Structure formats: C-alpha cells, structure tokens
C-alpha cells in the first residue's frame, strides 16, 4: 500500500448524484487535498440493468459544478472485467475461493427451508469440498469466508466495531454468467488502485467485514475505514425526495452557488469551532476526520438558503453578473441572445444582492430594472397610487423632465424640494414613486433605483401611473 493518501469516490450510476453522495465525494476530496494525496473518481456501473449513461453524465456534471476535481479517472468497472476474472482465478488457485454449482432454484428452496426453521439465511457450504465439476452446469465462484472468530473494523469515525465471522456468508464473487459482484469488485479496485482510506456512508458498514476478508485473501494491507453517518430530513427521517430536491444538479438549477453548497455540505457532520461560513481554502486547511460526528446530520433547507444568501451578498458583483445571466434568460426576463450593459447590470445587482437568497430570486428582483413594462402589486397600487398622490407624481414627473443630470444626489434634491413644498414626510412622496417605478411597495433606496432605471423609463412609468390613477377615478 502506498504511504501517500489515496482515496476514491465510487458512485453507482443508478440514480442522480444526491446530497449524501455529494457529501461523501466532498469529504474524500477534502481528505486528499488536506493531506496532499490523490482523489480518484470510479464509476461502479456493474449493475447493467439500472446503470445508465444519463446518470453517469449527471454525476460528472454535479462533481464539476461542486468543483470536486479528481486526479485519476473516471474509471468504469465495466471496462475492468478481465481484471476481476484474473483476481478470481488467483483466489481459486490459492484455495481461497471455490466453484459453486448450486442453481438459483436450489438456493431459494434452501433459503425458504432455513427461514421456516429459524436458521441463519446463509449458504450452507455444500460446494466447499466438491471434488470435481458438475458437467451440465456453469458454476459461480464463491469466496471461502472465515467461519469462526470475529472481524474488528477500526473505524476512524465510529471507533471499533466487531462482527461475528460465523454470521458471514461464502459470498458469490463471480456469477455463473461471468459478471463480478459488488463486494468483490470494490476490493479488487481498491487493491489495484492502492486505496489507503475508504471514506463512505455508514450504509456500507455491514459490507466492511466481508471486504476485509477479501483484502486479506488478496494479500493487501487493510485500508483505513471511515463510515459517515447518514443525512436525515428536517423531520429526522431518512432524506428522500419528499423532503424536496435531493439531486445536486437541481440545486444548481434552483440558483444556489456551488461554494455555498459545498460550505453547507461540509457542515453536515463536520465542524470547526463555531464558524459557519468558510472559504474553500479554509475548509481544506481545517478538514479532519477526527471531528466528524457519529450522529446523523439533519438537512435544513432554511439554513442552506441563509448560507447561500451570505455568499451572494459577499460575492464580487462582476461574478454575479455572469452567474445570473442564464437565469435571466431561463426565467424569460431577457430574451435569448439579448445583451445587457455589464456596468449597468452591476449597479442594479449591487442594490439587490443583499436581499436575494438565490440566483433565481436575484433574477426576478432585476425584472423591474430590465422590463419595459411592469405590473403593480394590487395592494401597493391601491394604497399608494390614488387621488392623494396624483399631484405628487405629476410634479415629480415634470421636475424630472427638466433635470439634466439624472443621478441620485440631484434626484434627492428634487424630492426634498417637493417634500418642503407640500410639507409632507419623505415617505409620502417616495412610496407612490416607488410603486410607480417598481410595481411594489418595497425596493432598494429610491434614489439609486431611479438612477439605474434611467430618465426615459422613469418618466414613462410615472406617466403610466398618473394615467392609472385617472382611470381609477
């Protein structure tokens, strides 16, 4: 085994990359980066009935979005069948595996008999000492498992976990059709790729004693194991689709930033003091398996949204300009191929990024800046666009028409002169103007908003509001 850390993320492409798998990938990636080791991506696609190219593409897309770059791979198990056969033949020759000629019907019959008698549901070993082949049958290959003693897993997270070897089965490692089985190929790949640390979900813990025996049979030093606790939904049940989106790429589509998502994932079971927000470099520097918790982590969508809002608020505006453009197109706020001045868009985003939890929210918030026409919120329209505000809107429209320099400080002067003229509070004037320009009763600072919307569009919207009041009257 190599002295250098070598870890792997080995998803089965029978579904999309989900939260649990992404966290496993992240912890492996971090462990490799922290220890200046090697991170390997391995696709465990031997389940040909359920594995699809679509799922493989989704896994790779999710990994790339998360920024989890791999050093080797992606390897695919379906490309390595000849390697598995060679290792199985080696075990046969060394007397550590044997041919099993039992048919599936016979095995099922014995299983039902054992069930009825309350006996363990394990292979009875009748082909262990078979002296010769049964010529009318194609055999499977079974691993000769230890029948006594115990196997102790020295887990880096859970501590020592002991398993009674008498409960272990002589598991099939090569089916009669020549295809290898999961527990065998995992070990062969780990041996062949010189894996030093196996970091995976604790749903694999029961497979570990079986795999340890195969490592030993192949003469390979047992890698260190770390089994991560599962992720639960907010109701403390196993995380599933009913808790919302679980595929990583769906969070990308919902407008989450990859750095925020990585920050959230790493906090599902790991901590560094009371710190909540980390840069990626900080996570790599601080990461350690020693402080990964033993208890299940609970997924909290609100916490993820809060964290994402922090990343949006603190992201350079020029980065947000690039990130939000696909959402402006997807949400039909701009047309495909339409361009926006980046400096202008940056100013608009600057007024909104502290208010946005996702890129989708940011895109929709930008609508009133970009659109030619706006729709009024009915409650805001009824409260602020009425006969009482009509003269205010007429006066401010006329003042804006004669304004040469349409910038926030000059706009504020216009407002203050009208506040003095009518002897009213600023809000009595600002709110009708805000609704006229944005359609809503809430927005960033009104002077900034007007400057970004621009003179021509501002005057047009004020005239539309004046007309609306006239129609209502």
Tokens of 210: 């079986």
DSSP for 313-381, please give it.
Answer: HHS-HHHHHHHHHHHHHHTTSS-TT----HHHHHHHHHHHGGG-SSHHHHHHHTHHHH-SS----HHHH
Residues in the chain: 473
Contacts of 466 (CB under 8 A, 6+ apart): 390, 393, 394, 397
What is the number of other CB atoms lying within 10 angstroms of the CB of residue 121?
10
Q: How far apart are CA 8 and CA 193, in angstroms?
A: 9
Q: How far apart are CA 256 and CA 392, in angstroms?
A: 41
Whether 206 contacts 158, CB under 8 Å: no
Tokens of 94: 């060394």
Please give the backbone phi and psi of residue 189, each rounded to the nearest 5 degrees, phi first: -65, -45
Nearest Cα to Cα of residue 216 among 193, 198, 190: 190
Tokens of 326: 């696909």
3-state SS assignment for residue 298: strand
Contacts of 301 (CB under 8 A, 6+ apart): 234, 243, 244
Q: How far apart are CA 231 and CA 264, in angstroms?
A: 12
Which of 36, 241, 335, 473 is catalytic? The answer is 241
State yes or no: is 210 an active-site residue: no
Q: How far apart are CA 70 and CA 8, in angstroms?
A: 9
Give the CA count within 13 Å in the CB-facing half-sphere of 341. 7
Tell me whether strands 140-143 and 172-174 are parallel, antiparallel or unpaired.
antiparallel
Give the torsion sign (CA, 325, 331, 336, 340).
negative
Contacts of 90 (CB under 8 A, 6+ apart): 218
Residue 38 β-bridge partners: 6
Cα 431 to Cα 13, 21, 153, 312, 415, distances in angstroms: 54, 49, 67, 27, 12
Nearest Cα to Cα of residue 459 among 410, 407, 389, 396: 396
Q: How far apart are CA 216 and CA 326, in angstroms?
A: 52
Residues designated as active site: 241
């Amino acid at each position: 085994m190599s002295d250098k850390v070598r870890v792997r993320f080995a998803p089965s492409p029978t579904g999309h990359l989900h939260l649990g798998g992404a966290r496993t990938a992240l912890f492996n990636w971090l462990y490799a980066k922290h220890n200046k080791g090697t991170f390997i991506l391995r696709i465990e696609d031997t389940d040909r009935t359920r594995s699809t190219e679509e799922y493989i593409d989704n896994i790779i897309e999710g990994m790339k979005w998360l920024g989890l770059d791999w050093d080797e791979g992606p390897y695919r198990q379906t490309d390595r069948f000849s390697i598995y056969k060679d290792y199985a033949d080696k075990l046969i020759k060394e007397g550590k595996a044997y041919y099993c000629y039992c048919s599936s019907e016979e095995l099922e019959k014995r299983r039902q008999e054992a069930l009825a008698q309350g006996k363990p549901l394990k292979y009875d070993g009748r082909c262990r000492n078979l002296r010769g082949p049964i010529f009318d049958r194609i055999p499977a290959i079974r691993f000769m498992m230890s029948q006594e003693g115990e196997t102790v897993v020295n887990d880096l997270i859970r501590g020592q976990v002991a398993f009674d070897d008498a409960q272990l089965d002589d598991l099939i490692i090569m089916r009669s059709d020549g295809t290898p089985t999961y527990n065998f190929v995992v070990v062969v790949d780990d041996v062949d790729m010189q894996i030093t640390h196996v970091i995976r979900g604790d749903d694999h813990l029961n497979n570990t004693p079986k795999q340890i025996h195969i490592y030993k049979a192949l003469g390979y030093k047992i890698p260190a194991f770390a089994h991560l606790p599962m992720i639960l939904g907010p109701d403390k049940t196993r995380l599933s689709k009913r808790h919302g989106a679980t595929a990583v790429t769906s969070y990308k589509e919902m407008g989450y930033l990859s750095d925020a998502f990585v920050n959230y994932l790493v906090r599902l079971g790991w901590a560094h003091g009371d710190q909540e927000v980390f840069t990626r470099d900080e996570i790599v520097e601080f990461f350690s398996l020693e402080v990964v918790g033993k208890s299940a982590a609970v997924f909290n969508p609100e916490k993820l949204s809060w964290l994402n809002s922090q990343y949006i608020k603190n992201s350079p505006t020029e980065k947000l300009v690039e990130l939000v453009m696909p959402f402006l197109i997807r949400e039909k706020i701009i047309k495909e191929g339409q361009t926006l001045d980046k400096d202008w868009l940056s100013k608009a985003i600057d007024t909104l990024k502290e208010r946005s939890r996702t890129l989708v929210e940011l895109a929709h918030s930008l609508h009133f800046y970009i659109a030619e026409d706006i729709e009024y919120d009915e409650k805001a329209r009824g409260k602020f666009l009425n006969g009482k505000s009509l003269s205010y809107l007429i006066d401010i429209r006329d003042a804006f028409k004669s304004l040469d320099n349409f910038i926030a400080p000059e706009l504020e002067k216009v407002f203050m002169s009208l506040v003095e003229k009518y002897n009213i509070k600023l809000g009595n004037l600002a709110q009708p103007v805000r609704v006229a320009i944005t359609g809503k009763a809430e927005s960033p600072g009104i002077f900034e908003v007007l400057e970004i919307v621009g003179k021509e569009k501002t005057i047009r919207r004020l005239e539309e509001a004046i007309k609306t009041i006239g129609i209502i009257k």
